[in-house]
Structure 1
Amino acid sequence: MTGTEFTVDVAGGALTVTRWGSAEALPVVALHGITANGHSFARVAAELPDTLALLAPDLRGRARSAHLPGPYGLGAHVADTMALLDAVGVDRTVLVGHSMGAFVACLAAVRHPDRVAGVVLVDGGFGLPAPPGTDIQQVIGPAMARLSMTFADRDTYRSFWQKHPAFAGRWNTWADTYVQRDLVGDPPEMRSSCVADAVRIDGAQVLEDPEVLGAIRALPCPAWLMWAARGLLDETPGLYTAERLAALDGSGVQLVELPDDNHYTPLFSSTAATVAAQIHTAVQQTMEAER
């Protein structure tokens, strides 16, 4: 399923967005993780019904939006998301976020309750206590380390990701298309497109910014958190457990466990159909509630 790219005017330049689905379909917006890009949602988009379209920007500082300047931070991503909604003429919709993108979705809902009808969060959005001084590289490991690396060619970059514990034994064309979009430059010195400063600034907010961390408890709209049982390196337990998520009791956030997945795989494995079904449910329920 091939998406259609377009750009949106935002502060400092043009944000690149990929759209999957027809122009007549109701659009939802998908926000990717901290070193990812919009094509991480390609398989989810393929699983959506024809009545829905998925719009996935390459967030500021990543992939084909890497040229966009600072200031970085989750507030900048929220502003860019609102600019996207304005550009496509959407007053109100459901936001989907994976990992860091889930925190952006929550912050957008709190800052712009008139624009966000609901949020679907995939293994993100709920902050966990981190020791003082924790750096984002300590949390995301190889995903961050690669930003200072060069790669001889696309096959070398593919091999790097195939060895990542989260993808080992799970590689497929969806994952390959996603990681290849990240690669820029010419052989033998190709590199990730991600701007390291953008990742560090965004990561610091995810770890310690009070507004970002508190957004999930202040949501003015329906919310679903789909959490993976395994972590970023396919370890057990993952970022979330039932015990950790008990802190959300009374928040109204509905929890959906993904017992067979790690932090990355819900977007690339057959679980993408489950994520797509949850998005469809969220759209149906929010539309029904607002009639």
Structure 2
Amino acid sequence: MLVPVDGGDLAVEVHDGDTPPVLAIHGVSGSRKLWNWVAAHHFSLIAPDLRGRGDSVEVPGSGISQHADDMLRVLDALNLDAVTVCGMSMGAYVAVDLAVRYPDRVRALVLVDGGFPMPAHASLTEETLAAAFAPQLAARERTWTVDEYLTVQAAVNPLIDATDPLIREYFAHDLTPDGHLRLPGGTLIADATDVVFGTSRWRELTVPTWFAHAEWSTGPDTPPAYTVEQAAAFRAELPVLHEPVLINEVDHGGTVMTRAGAAVVGEVLAEALK
């Protein structure tokens, strides 16, 4: 379905399942297909392509608050007063902003490897951030077949299963019919800049919140985005935060884009839906 937002129409996929509806918000370079692994566990998901991505690629603009306002439009279009919201990576920051500014529309919050300050961000500058995204920006200068793009992504993401049909569907959704990536470089950098240099309002959360985080960041044995100790510190400071859940033997992307990671996220989401 298409939902009117400022500047165009947002593409939204609705997965029918056995649960109350969950608004699922993907990360900075992802798309609505990120949630296919969680949907396979029979959750009812509302999964938008955020502006500038996938089938919403023609909608201009960026920024955490802009995306949160778009999510409010999605809920309005579906006549949903309040839902559980699940966000991964940048989507978790969007979910926090939505829950802080519109707490009456969010009954519970599930944050997956995002939403809280990442210690690694403290050392970044705008120059080093742009350098970190240089490979992604370069990829936008050429055309790809799905097989070529999948091969490159499998090399960059060693924990994904390149034979998984959901992986192929996920990365195929990144491409236009003529093989260009459906995420402008300017949008990617603008949203990443807002995540890294913006201020998460997590301390202002008033809705029940769950946090699941990965053991690794980009492959086996890499330092995580959040340590167990850091997650415990967030819980000590935020009364509405339940006991954080460590997802073992997955990295940042694998929290949702692997069957093992999605199973744990599903367990956390089921708890939040009770």
Settle same-fold status: TM greater than 0.5. Answer: yes
| Cα separation, 2, equivalents of 1:25 and 1:282 | 11
RMSD: 2.0
1:111 aligns with 2:101: yes
Q: 1:31 aligns with which of 25, 48, 67?
A: 25
Change (3 A) 1:136 1:58: farther
| 1:59 match: secondary structure | coil
2:174 paired residue number: 182
- Could you tell me whether the CA contact under 8 Å between 1:146 and 1:192 is conserved in 2? no
TM-superposed deviation, 1:63: 0.6
* AA aligned opposite 1:62: R
- Could you tell me whether the CA contact under 8 Å between 2:140 and 2:184 is conserved in 1? no
2:16 paired residue number: 21
Equivalences for residues 22-171 of structure 1 within 5 A: 26-48=20-42, 52-70=43-61, 72-129=62-119, 130-131=122-123, 133-134=125-126, 135-138=128-131, 142=135, 144-145=136-137, 147-167=139-159, 171=163
Q: 1:8 aligns with which of 3, 7, 28?
A: 3
- Could you tell me whether the CA contact under 8 Å between 2:52 and 2:184 is conserved in 1? yes
- Could you tell me whether the CA contact under 8 Å between 1:165 and 1:234 is conserved in 2? no
TM-superposed deviation, 1:273: 1.9
Change (3 A) 1:9 1:138: same
- Could you tell me whether the CA contact under 8 Å between 2:159 and 2:251 is conserved in 1? no
Q: CA offsets, 1:162-215, max 9 Å, x none?
A: 2113446665212111111011141xxx221012222111111111112xx2x2
1:241 paired residue number: 227
Count of residue pairs brought into register by the alignment: 267
| 1:110 match: secondary structure | helix
| 2:103 match: secondary structure | coil
Change (3 A) 1:7 1:46: same
Change (3 A) 1:54 1:168: closer
1:220 aligns with 2:215: no
Instruction: Give the 4+ runs in structure 1 shifted more than 6 A.
Output: none
TM-superposed deviation, 1:86: 0.3
The unaligned stretches of length 5 or more in structure 1 are 1-5, 285-291
The unaligned stretches of length 5 or more in structure 2 are none
1:267 aligns with 2:263: no
